[in-house]
Structure 1
Amino acid sequence: MQETEKISGNQLGFLLITFVISTIILTVPGIMVMFGKQNAWISIIPASLTGLLSIYVMITLSNRYPGLTITQYGSKIVGKWLGRLLGINYIYYWFVSISTIIMQHSGFVNTLLLPKSPPIVASLTFLILCSIAVIAGIEVIARCNEFLTVIILFFLIPLLILSAVQGDANQLKPILGEGMIPVLQGSVSPAGGFMNQLFILGWLLPYLNQPQKARKASLIALASISVLIITVILLTITVLGPLTGKLTYSFLSVIQYIGIAGSFERLEALAVSIWVLGCFVKVSVSLFILCLCASQLFGLRNYRDIVLPISLLSLIGSAWIFKNASELLNYLAFTFPLLAFFNQSLLPLSLLMIDTIKRKTRQSLL
C-alpha cells in the first residue's frame, strides 16, 4: 500500500454508492421483476441485510488487522498456502468481473450509440481511460468520483421525477398476492450479486484516513443504495408493468418512454451518460483491486507496474468471456449471484469465524 494515498470517509461512501448502483439501475429491475413480478421492489429489503453482513464482516476484520487488505490478512488467518489460494481466487474473480462489465459496457454503447462500430473499439478506449485512473491511484479515483457522483445525481433525479409523473400505481397491485416466495426469489440477484459488493471495503479500508468513520460511511452508503434502487424499481414497474421482466434495460425503456410522451426528447442520452460515468468508476476501482491483489500475492513493490498488462488481459477477456448478449444475461441472472455470494459473503465470513475461533482458543490456553 502507498502510504501517501488516503481517502476520506465521504469519499469512501461515494465510492460505495457509485460502485454498486453504476450498472444495476439499468439492468437489475428487469432481472428482479422476472422473479418477484410487481413485488420486486420489496425484494430489496431482505437483500439489504446481506449488505449489512458484508459491512460488519469487513470492518471487523479490518479492525483486527489494521492497514492490511483481505488478501494480506487472509494468509495470517488461514496460513500461507491457503492464503495464496484465496488470493488467486480473488484475482480470478475480479478478472471475470472486469471482463463482464467491459462486455456490458461495449454492448450497451454499441446498441444505443455506435451500432456499426466494432465492440473492441469501445472496450479498448474505455479501458485506456480506466488504466490511466488506476495508475494515478485510488485517491485520484475517489476525488474524481466525488465530482462524478454529483453529475450522476444531477442527471438521474429529473428522470425519476418525470417517471413518477407517468407512472400508474395500480401496476403494483396485488401486493404479496403470491406470498413471500417470489419476493425472496427476486432478492437473490441484488443480494448475491450487488448488495454484497460492499465487500470492496476489504481493499479500500486500509486507505481510509480516519478508520473510525468506516462504519458510518458504509451504513449511509447502504441506506442510500437501497432507497435509490427501490425508487428505480417502483417507477419502472409503475410505468412498464409486467413488461419490465422481459426487457434487458428496463429503466432505459422507461426513460425513452417519458421522452416520447413528455416535452423532452432523446432523454436516453442522460441514461447513457449515467451508465458511462458509473462504469468508469466501477471498472477503475475493480481494476485497482485486481492489480493490488496480484501485486500483494506475488510480492511486487508497486501495483502500478502491472496495470497495463492486466488491462490488456481484461480486454481479451471481455471479447472471449461470453459469445452473445443472451449468455451474458443468463450469467447475470443465475450464475453471478451464486459466484458473488461465495466470494463476497461466504469467504469473508469464513475468515472471520476462523479468526474468532483462533483468538478464543489462544485466550483459553493462556
Structure 2
Amino acid sequence: METSEKITGSQLGFLLFTFVVSTNMLTVPGIMAMFGKQDAWMAIVPSALTGLISIWVMTALANRYPGMTIIQYSSKIVGNWLGPLIALNYLYYWFVSIATITMQHTGFISTLLLPRTPSIVASLSFLILCGLAVIAGIEVIARCNEFISILILVFLIPLLILTAGEANPAAIKPVLGNGLLPVLQSTVSPAGGFMNQLFILGWLLPYLNQPKKARKVSVIALAGIAVLISFIVMLTIMVLGPLTGKLTYAFLSVIQYIGIAGSFERLEALAVSMWVMGCFVKVAVSLFILCLSVSQLFKLRNYRQFVFPITLFSLIGSVWIFKNGSELLNYLAFTFPLLAFFNQSFLPLSLLAIDTIKRRVEHLRLQ
C-alpha cells in the first residue's frame, strides 16, 4: 500500500502515548483498585509485558508484509474467506470502541462541566471535530498530537508533584497483603487491556517513514506509559486509600483534593483539558482506523468518503449501545478485557503463528 501520508518515529511514539494514556489516566486507577486494592500499582509490570508482546507481534507482521495493514495481510495469511471475517470483526471492534470513548467523554463533560447540555449535542460536536481531523489525514493528526502530548505532560507533571506532597505511603501497605491473586485480577482488567492497545501499530506502521525504527519507538512509548500510569495509580491509592476502588474518576478526585488543600484552586480544569485533548486524539485515530479498514475491506482507495457516514453511525452508537453510565462501567471492568484480549492479542498472535507455520512448510517443501 503506497501512501503519500507519512509520520515520523517520534510522531508514532507520541500517538501511542496519547492513545493509551488519554482515557486511562482518570479511569484506570479506580478500576485497578477495585480488584487489586492497595497492590493495584504492581499490576502495571505484567500489563507492560502484554504490551511488549503486542509490539513484537505487530512489528513482526509488518516486516513480513511491508506497506500493508492487518486488514490486508490477514487475507494473505488465512485466505479470502477467513480474512474478510477478521476484517469485519475489527470493524465491529472499532465501531464499539469509538462509541464507548465518545460516551465516556460525553459523560465526563456532562457530569463535571455541562450538566444541562443534552448528551447528543456534546457527542455530535465532539465527533464532528474528530471527523474533520480524519479528513485532514493521519499526518495532520500526528502533527497535532505532538503539541497535545507535550501539553498533557506539562499539565500532568506538576499535578503529580503536588499529589506526592499529599501522599501517605502507609496506604499501599501491607504489600501483597491479600496475596498475588488480586494483583493478577487487576492485570486482566482494563489495566491489562490498555497496554495491548499498542496493537494499533497494525494500522499505523504502513505510514511510518522509517519502518526500522518502529520497534524501538514503540518500546520507548510503552516504557513511558507504564511508568506514568504506575505513578498515577500509586499516588491515587496513597491519597485516597480504600476509597480509590469505589470512584469512577479516582485520579480526578485526587486532583480536586490537592486543589482544595494546597495553594492552588480548581486544578480539575487541567484534568478536564487533558481528558478532552486526549479523547480527541484517541477518537480521531480510531475513526481513521475504522474508515481505513472499511475502504481496504471493499478495496477502495479513498477512505475519506466514509468519514461522514461512519461518524454519524458512531454518534448513534454512542447513544444506543449503553443505556447509562453503570452499564458502561460494567463493560469496561468485565467485558472489555475479554474483547480486548481476543482482538488485540489472540487474533494477531494467531495470524503470526499461522504465517510462521505456512512459511516453514513452504521452506521444507522447497528443500
TM range (shorter): over 0.9
Find the counterpart in structure 2 of residue 308 from structure 1: 308
- Given that 1:44 and 1:190 are in contact with CA atoms closer than 8 Å, whether structure 2 keeps it comes out as no
For the residue of structure 2 that corresponds to 1:322, the secondary structure is coil
Do structure 1's residue 17 and structure 2's residue 52 form an aligned pair? no
Find the counterpart in structure 2 of residue 65 from structure 1: 65
Cα 1:353–1:29, aligned 2, differ >3 Å: closer, same or farther?
A: same
Find the counterpart in structure 2 of residue 291 from structure 1: 291
Q: What CA distance in whole angstroms lies between the structure 2 residues aligned with 1:131 and 1:54?
A: 28
- Given that 1:48 and 1:191 are in contact with CA atoms closer than 8 Å, whether structure 2 keeps it comes out as no
Q: TM-score, normalised by structure 2?
A: 0.99
Gaps of 5+ in 2: none
Q: What CA distance in whole angstroms lies between the structure 2 residues aligned with 1:219 and 1:191?
A: 17
For the residue of structure 1 that corresponds to 2:54, the secondary structure is helix
Do structure 1's residue 119 and structure 2's residue 83 form an aligned pair? no
Give the deviation of 1:190 after TM superposition. 3.8
Q: What CA distance in whole angstroms lies between the structure 2 residues aligned with 1:21 and 1:150?
A: 13
For the residue of structure 1 that corresponds to 2:188, the secondary structure is helix
Deviations 1:47-84 (A, max 9, x none): 11100100000000000000000000000000011100
Give the deviation of 1:314 after TM superposition. 0.1
Q: What CA distance in whole angstroms lies between the structure 1 residues aligned with 2:277 and 2:19?
A: 11
Q: What CA distance in whole angstroms lies between the structure 2 residues aligned with 1:124 and 1:14?
A: 26
Q: What CA distance in whole angstroms lies between the structure 1 residues aligned with 2:279 and 2:122?
A: 12
Find the counterpart in structure 2 of residue 229 from structure 1: 229
Deviations 1:108-150 (A, max 9, x none): 0000000000001110000011001000000000000000011
Find the counterpart in structure 2 of residue 264 from structure 1: 264
Gaps of 5+ in 1: none
Query: 1:29-68 residue pairs with structure 2 within 5 A?
Result: 29-68=29-68
Q: Pairwise CA RMSD of aligned residues?
A: 0.7
Amino acid of the structure 2 residue aligned with 1:138: I
Give the deviation of 1:301 after TM superposition. 1.7
Q: What CA distance in whole angstroms lies between the structure 2 residues aligned with 1:307 and 1:278?
A: 20
Query: 1:125-274 residue pairs with structure 2 within 5 A?
Result: 125-190=125-190, 192-274=192-274
Find the counterpart in structure 1 of residue 93 from structure 2: 93
Q: What CA distance in whole angstroms lies between the structure 1 residues aligned with 2:150 and 2:308?
A: 29
- Given that 1:98 and 1:283 are in contact with CA atoms closer than 8 Å, whether structure 2 keeps it comes out as yes
Do structure 1's residue 339 and structure 2's residue 348 form an aligned pair? no
Q: What CA distance in whole angstroms lies between the structure 2 residues aligned with 1:190 and 1:107?
A: 19
- Given that 2:74 and 2:86 are in contact with CA atoms closer than 8 Å, whether structure 1 keeps it comes out as yes
- Given that 1:99 and 1:315 are in contact with CA atoms closer than 8 Å, whether structure 2 keeps it comes out as yes
Q: TM-score, normalised by structure 1?
A: 0.99
For the residue of structure 1 that corresponds to 2:266, the secondary structure is coil
Do structure 1's residue 330 and structure 2's residue 337 form an aligned pair? no
Give the deviation of 1:2 after TM superposition. 5.8
Q: What CA distance in whole angstroms lies between the structure 2 residues aligned with 1:27 and 1:3?
A: 36
- Given that 1:51 and 1:191 are in contact with CA atoms closer than 8 Å, whether structure 2 keeps it comes out as no
Q: What CA distance in whole angstroms lies between the structure 2 residues aligned with 1:194 and 1:301?
A: 31
Deviations 1:256-283 (A, max 9, x none): 0001101111110000000000000000
Q: What CA distance in whole angstroms lies between the structure 2 residues aligned with 1:88 and 1:109?
A: 32
For the residue of structure 1 that corresponds to 2:345, the secondary structure is helix
Q: What CA distance in whole angstroms lies between the structure 2 residues aligned with 1:11 and 1:107?
A: 29
Give the deviation of 1:191 after TM superposition. 5.0
- Given that 2:190 and 2:333 are in contact with CA atoms closer than 8 Å, whether structure 1 keeps it comes out as no
- Given that 2:32 and 2:191 are in contact with CA atoms closer than 8 Å, whether structure 1 keeps it comes out as no
Give the deviation of 1:3 after TM superposition. 1.7
Q: What CA distance in whole angstroms lies between the structure 2 residues aligned with 1:190 and 1:46?
A: 13
- Given that 2:43 and 2:187 are in contact with CA atoms closer than 8 Å, whether structure 1 keeps it comes out as yes
Find the counterpart in structure 1 of residue 321 from structure 2: 321
